[in-house]
Structure 1
């Protein structure tokens, strides 16, 4: 598969949506979940193309000591799931005290973000549905794996992992956790997610929340008809 440079997340989302619209999801309940913040922008294009409500799954990277850009694992909202890269933790000499403290810190951040994104709104029902999980790119794959493992416990009928671009090594690892995977570009020399975008500006919480609220306004629950 050729390497693709995307103009921005909207462009990537539209290209990903083209792939999904060629598949028939008309006879099955569907949920599209973006991983904040950049994944929400990409997922918005897919959800719109499939006429599906959009929601989020909150995942936080566990940061290596003194190297916050390096992920040593991830945690996900909902069930108490911690995905640890044991090999990297050993190689870096990460102490159990540091790891426990970082897990607690990121779980607190997950709760903060849930309040920002959903407020009092309940988490989406995914049991028995085809669930498409989307991020703007997958580097190590540990945050995405945490999202998949957390959702799997909620018994979806079919679990799809999707992103515009993903490192080949991550795809190999994630294959055990998804029923289906959809990636547009899978470069062997990955570098970073931002490498594959001309415009990779940071997405704010406010922008992600606005996208969600626009989607929710289009899919308000129907009131029961009174006799």
Structure 2
């Protein structure tokens, strides 16, 4: 692997700095490298929750190293009605929608403008929960150390919604673990988790996929197979 020419602030447990080679070969490799930083946390009764779809192959490697259960925490982005790719919020199963109120104000959106979008995303979220978990409930969170895993952080909207939903389950400790994330986003999420483990936090960040050699789109079948 080549070393990126992009200046990188590398953040690991306790905000320490270390060298990391980018891009990652694939999500599995990123997961193995990330697991090296998660294992020393000495987690109690750990549970690894992946944000599907891309977070699942990363989380699988961490769960294997921890010998911990692996499951998914389904999230959905809430897009601007006129520009769906612009995320103004997100929702996670078991939680309420989390909105970027500053962005909503800048683009002139009200809560009423988003009612239909939220309803539609709730429906899709329920469909995906049924596809991935069937009738099985989300595992118990109370009193456990929960590791929330994704393949990267761009704006951090879905991660924020996921962390809020996990907090509502009264875990003992919440860890957010990602291979790479925009430096501004990592800093903005500092108060949402007890610890953030991230291998690289570049200041110049266009998309998560730019930090992987192979960044294949995953299907629901892929997620089910990995689980």
TM-score strictly above 0.5: yes
Question: Is 2:60 aligned against 1:64?
Answer: no
Which one of 195, 203, 206 corresponds to residue 221 of structure 2?
A: 206
1:48-197, aligned counterparts within 5 Å?
48-79=64-95, 81-197=96-212
Pairwise CA distance, 1:95: 4.3
Give the SS at the match of 2:91. strand
Q: Aligned equivalents of 2:167 and 2:110: distance in 1?
A: 30
Do the aligned partners of 2:81 and 2:117 also contact (CA within 8 Å) in 1?
no
Give the 3 Å change call, closer, same or farther, for CA 50–68 of structure 1 in structure 2.
same
Q: Aligned equivalents of 2:85 and 2:211: distance in 1?
A: 18
Unaligned runs of 5+ in 1: 213-227
Deviations 1:16-65 (A, max 9, x none): 1121233323xx21100000000011000000111011001111111123
The TM-score with structure 2 as length reference comes to 0.88
Q: Aligned equivalents of 2:125 and 2:135: distance in 1?
A: 15
Give the SS at the match of 1:71. strand
Q: Aligned equivalents of 2:48 and 2:145: distance in 1?
A: 9
Aligned length: 209
Deviations 1:71-93 (A, max 9, x none): 111011113x1111111112222
Segment drifting more, 156-165 vs 83-92: 83-92
Aligned to 1:30: 46
Segment drifting more, 82-91 vs 124-133: 82-91
Unaligned runs of 5+ in 2: 1-9, 11-18
Give the SS at the match of 2:97. strand
Pairwise CA distance, 1:112: 0.3
The TM-score with structure 1 as length reference comes to 0.88
Superposed CA RMSD? 1.3
Do the aligned partners of 1:65 and 1:94 also contact (CA within 8 Å) in 2?
no
Q: Structure 1 segments of 4 or more deviating over 4 A? A: none
